[in-house]
Amino acid sequence: MDKIIKLKVEGMTCRSCELTIERAWRKIHGVLKVDVNAAKGVARVVCGDTEPSLEVLQSAIADHGYTVKGIFDSAKTYNLQLTTSRLRWWQLLGLFVLVIILGTLFSKIGLLAPTIALGAGTSFGAVFLLGLVAASSSCIAVSGGLLLSSAAKFNERYGSTTPSVAQKTLSVGLIRMRPVFLFVGGRLLSYTLLGGLIGAIGKALSPSPLATGIITILAALYMLTMGLDMLHLTPQWLKKITPRLPKSLGHRLLTVEEKEHAFTPLLLGAATFFLPCGFTQALQLYALTTGSFTTGALILLAFALGTAPALLVLGWVSGSLKGKAGRFFFQFAGALVVMLGLWNLQNGFTMMGYPISLQRVASLFISGNKPNALDSNVSFDGTKQTVQMAVDYTGYSPNRFTIRQGVPTQWVINAKSNSGCLSVIQAPKLGIRTLLQPGTNVVEFTPRIAGVIPFSCSMGMFWGEINVIPNS
């Protein structure tokens, strides 16, 4: 009769962890079936006549950074939230302060500024940085394990013990890196092409600012969940409701590693686009909102390039960050992802016409809606009012102005720079969504309702407000 063992496993954070442990334990003699639940931190192992010891189970997953804490008896209760790796409040505060300091520094040197290359709100450098972060997390574990196994099979079948003339021109190390280069190359190719395809689909769908904002918010919430997971702060109920790709799909993709064709590493690298990784899924959602093949392709290419160094190093040394340095970087990465999630959450609400920022809240209390406020950037000729505004790489100038209710308005926008998301200006409450051309652009509308009307770029990174006062 089959025996069922329930184990408590420490160190799991996501679906990739489940796949890694399940595949490692299924290779152990006597194991018939494995079902791992990262949200609960438990694993269910079905054994036949031969039952593996805890030492054997631990040995199979030790290199992946997971720890078997013992047998879980369902009749007993215990806290599923792992406390051994929890950070104290002052450590968390220090991590977030460090993220803010580095983010401010990178912004000042222009690394995180929007660029013409991307044509969207998030810069190539910022997405590349996100790729570096993802490569340090458990999301890269499945891709890394797939890389190592396919490289080993490739070299076993195609590696030559007697170097050829061509091989003599290269070091042995570079020769053995051929499957690694193929794997990373396939990954870069698939992320670029499929990212572009997603962007093109977004263009065909022509999502409204409301739909774009909702998608961005969903991606931001997903990132927040991942960041909290990396900091071991995610509540169990949130883990359970987080959308995830079917586990069976991940196993089917990983099973391809048993093939021995020379181009298998290339195909496996390409298939990692579909492996369960929250970072990838968040950027896939983001690419959908761009409505551009080129932008979508560049976004996913930047992310894949960010993960490439870690995969290349992994293929070279067959190792990863360990010890205190590894734990610190993982925790720092979690704090960074949380901050990026909050930033994109604000962008999503801004796109929908409801910006959230401390600056806006403060302005409501400090300046308020002055009934007869004068605005030097607004002129009135007795028939219509004209608003003058400039757009450059820093955003809108001015980004706040006051006009009168019910008066026909000409919004004269001097687009000194219309790169990235600044190429589109939108005000959902006015039904305005306009592509700006270099030079002078004129948008006409009549404000019917008094109040504050937000406007922003297409991705919500830059925004401003129109203060409509009663015409008296």
The tally of CA atoms less than 13 A away on the side-chain side of residue 25 is: 31
The pLDDT value recorded for residue 12 is: 75
- Whether the bond between 243 and the residue before it is cis, its omega within 30 degrees of 0, is no
Residue 278 β-bridge partners: none
The pLDDT value recorded for residue 166 is: 44
pLDDT tens digits, residue range 83-92?
345 678 888 8
The pLDDT value recorded for residue 75 is: 43
The pLDDT value recorded for residue 173 is: 52
The pLDDT value recorded for residue 305 is: 92
pTM (2 d.p.): 0.59
The tally of CA atoms less than 13 A away on the side-chain side of residue 210 is: 3
Nearest to 147 by CA among 20, 14, 322, 279: 20
pLDDT tens digits, residue range 67-83?
888 776 544 433 333 33
Q: What domains does the chain contain, in order, with CATH numbers?
A: 3-71 (3.30.70.100), 89-160+170-351 (no CATH), 358-469 (2.60.40.420)
Q: Which tokens in the block code for residue 90? A: 């002052």
> How many Å apart are CA 442 and CA 149, to the nearest integer?
59
The pLDDT value recorded for residue 190 is: 93
Phi (first) and psi of residue 402, to 5 degrees: -115, 130
The pLDDT value recorded for residue 347 is: 79
pLDDT < 70: residue spans in the chain:
1, 13-16, 39, 72-86, 106-123, 134, 136-176, 203-207, 236, 239-263, 275-279, 281-282, 314-327, 329-330, 357-374, 417-421, 472
> How many Å apart are CA 243 and CA 118, to the nearest integer?
28
Q: 């409801």: which residue's tokens?
A: 354
Residue 401 β-bridge partners: 466
Q: With helix as H, strand as E and coil as C, how does the chain read?
A: CCEEEEEEEECCCCHHHHHHHHHHHHCCCCEEEEEEECCCCEEEEEECCCCCCHHHHHHHHHHHCCEEEEECCCCCCCCCCCCCCCCCHHHHHHHHHHHHHHHHHHHHCCCCCCCCCCCCCCCHHHHHHHHHHHCCCHHHHHHHHHHHHHHHHHHHHHCCCCCCCCHHHCCHHHHHCHHHHHHHHHHHHHHHHHHHHHHHHHHHHCCCHHHHHHHHHHHHHHHHHHHHHHCCCCCHHHHHHCCCCCHHHHHHHHHHHHCCCCCHHHHHHHHHHHCCCHHHHHHHHHHHHHCCHHHHHHHHHHHHHHHHHHHHHHHHHCCCCCHHHHHHHHHHHHHHHHHHHHHHHHHHHHHCCCCCCHHHHHHHHHCCCCCCCCCCCEEECCCCEEEEEEEECCEEECCEEEEECCCCEEEEEEECCCCHHHHEEEEHHHCEEEECCCEEEEEEECCCCCEEEEEEECCCCCEEEEEEECCC
